[in-house]
Amino acid sequence: MNIKQANTDHPILKVIAERWSPYGFTDRPVAETDLVSLFEAARWAASSYNEQPWSYLVATLDNPAEFQRLLSCLVESNQAWAEAAPVLALGVVSLRFAKNSQENRAAVHDLGLASGNLVTEATSRGLSVHQMIGILPDKARELYQIPEHYEAWTALAIGYKADPAKLPDILKERDLTFRQRKPLNEFVFTGQWKQPARLALKISDPSD
């Protein structure tokens, strides 16, 4: 098994188990037909009142000036590795409901759902996505004239993962590290806070 594939305690979809966020990308371009399907998947995410409060700003390496403009909206440590990805995107949220201009507390949650759809679609197509919170929202607002009550929230590097053996040592180490997650009993509760739900204590039977 690929060392990055999740070693799950319970059965889940293969595409979820295979998803991970590489730091190394090849310069292989992403076909436009694949890229548009990623955003189509995001389009069909659930959202509060079906507001669909997300927008994406996208740049590809075949337009170097536009790519560098979007790259400059990432913090320096993310620019160092994300510059190798053939596609970059910024996830932007509308922080108010369109129907009444009231605060939309679900907006960031809904952007996450949309990006989750995008990432799952990407994985199913052999693509990888690395999401980042390390961005410069004020710079993005200035460069892209993002209006009031909207905010750039995350960034995504999209492309084909590189062979870790060919990466600089610091990236190689990150991309070869085994994946770990909290067990269910640390975040699925019942009755009161930190009291694990019975289902979270169930251990899968390997013979299932």
pLDDT digits (tens, 9 = 90+) for 121-131: 999 999 999 99
> Per-domain residue ranges for the chain?
14-179
User: What mean pLDDT do residues 111-138 have?
Assistant: 98
Residue range 9-23, pLDDT digits in tens: 999 999 999 999 999
The per-residue pLDDT for 73 is: 98
Average pLDDT, the chain: 94
Q: Per the structure block, which two tokens stand in for 49? A: 């009142």
Backbone angles phi, psi at 159, to 5 degrees: 170, -155
- CATH number of 14-179, picked from 3.30.1600.10, 2.60.120.260, 3.40.50.300, 3.40.109.10: 3.40.109.10
Which range among 29-38, 107-116, 163-172 shows the weakest confidence by mean pLDDT?
Answer: 163-172
- Return d(Cα 119, Cα 95) in angstroms, integer: 23
Cβ count near 163 (within 10 Å): 10
